[in-house]
Amino acid sequence: MINAYPLQWPAGWTRTKSGHWKNGNFRKHGKWISVVEAIQRVLDELARMGIDRQDVVISTNVRTRLDGLPRSGEKEPDDSGVAVYWETSTGGRRVMAIDAYRTVADNLAAVAATLDAMRAIERHGGAVVLERAFTGFTALPAPGAKRTWREVMTFGESTPTREQLKQRYRELASIRHPDKGGNDAAMSELNLALADAEREVA
């Protein structure tokens, strides 16, 4: 279960060091963007990707409204980071988190701008590049939860051979490794899954 409030930062994602935040320059009609406007930008970008509002959780340190979205007009929290979680139409879980800016509104607007830029990659024929990039944003289970090796390595109920295990590991490592667009947490989960699988598969 992902919390909208307080901020649930994704496991394995590096935080911006205190005091290293930037001032944003996200505006609407010449005025600084509000939290509500920034949220709408995020939801609009995800909608363009075919993601329904009900499949999105925007997690911040701003108290939420009745609809689960951050309130506007609240005092800026000490930690202005944001994490946007969503589920794809195929059941894939994704997250994008940004804490580079001093305000929640600017970090949300940065998420929206990043989503727009990544969709541009797809529009220009880079669908594979886009999928690899979004694989790097895969949301890992909440702290304390652990997926089975079958879930991590996408084997379902079938029992693979040792060779099939190694082949699947190589395929997944090619997109989960930090050097390939993944992250340390995703790669660590894959390594642990392989170890569990090798103990079980003869």
What percent of the chain has a predicted confidence (pLDDT) above 90? 30
Same structural domain, 127 and 93: yes
H-helix segments, 49-103: none
Q: What's the total number of domains in the chain?
A: 2
138-157 pLDDT, tens digit per residue, is 555 554 557 788 888 887 77
What lies within 8 Å, CB to CB, of 131 at 6+ separation is 175
The answer to whether residue 117 is domain-embedded is yes
Cis peptide before 6 (omega within 30 of 0): yes
* Angstrom distance (rounded) from CA 167 to CA 83: 33
* 79-128 pLDDT tens trace: 999 999 998 777 778 889 999 999 999 999 999 999 998 877 766 665 55
What's the first-to-final CA gap in the chain, in angstroms? 35
Alpha carbon of residue 112 to chain centroid: 12
Amino acid sitting at position 46: L
What is the model's pTM?
A: 0.64
Structural domain contains residue 5: no
Helix (H, G, I), strand (E, B) or coil at 129: helix
Instruction: Say whether both 51 and 114 belong to one domain.
Output: yes
Say if 123 falls within a structural domain: yes
The span from the CA of 193 to the CA of 197, in Å, is: 6
Q: Torsion angle of alpha carbons 75, 79, 81, 87, nearest 10°?
A: -90
The residue among 109, 135, 161 that closes a domain is: 135
User: Which domain does 68 fall in, by range?
Assistant: 27-135
Q: Do residues 35 and 104 both lie within one domain? A: yes
